[in-house]
Amino acid sequence: MVHMEFFDSVEEMFEAERKAREAADARTEDWQKRVKAGDCFRQSTGYGFDIYGEVLEGYEEEHLQNYRFCYCFSVACPEGEKGDVHVSVILEVITREEFEEIKKKMQGAM
């Protein structure tokens, strides 16, 4: 399900983003905070399929401490795409071998 929000000002939008980021940060576990560049992971979409990702880099900025820039793919996007992932959504760290095998299977199904 898509959730849309509407705002009366850009300031209101930024305030909502800040609150959402702080809520996500608050539910982040210590092991998730340690996810680093080179790690591979699995996250759930809540729609019956998982997303698999590889962390490419982290951020230095304090307010971005729990975000990672990643290459992710799924059955919905087997060719993959790059973007930010908040570590609170990572369900587990997987091995590089598992990541490559799953990626190969999904891309072979295209």
Per the prediction, the chain carries an average pLDDT of: 93
Predicted confidence band at 1 (pLDDT cuts at 50, 70, 90)?
low
Q: What share of the chain is helix, strand, coil (3-state, %, to 5)?
A: 35, 35, 30
pTM: 0.86
Separation in Å, CA 78 to CA 42, 52, 71, 84, 109: 14, 10, 11, 17, 8
Q: What is the pLDDT of residues 69-110, one digit of tens each?
A: 999 999 999 999 999 999 999 999 999 999 999 988 887 766
Higher pLDDT, 107 or 26: 26
Q: Which CATH architecture has domain 10-108?
A: Roll (2.30)
Domain ranges (residues) in the chain: 10-108
Could you report how far apart the first and last alpha carbons of the chain are, in Å? Answer: 25
CB count in 10 Å sphere of residue 48: 7
Helix, strand, or coil (residue 5): coil
pLDDT of residue 105: 87
Query: d(Cα 110, Cα 73) in Å, to the nearest integer?
Result: 12
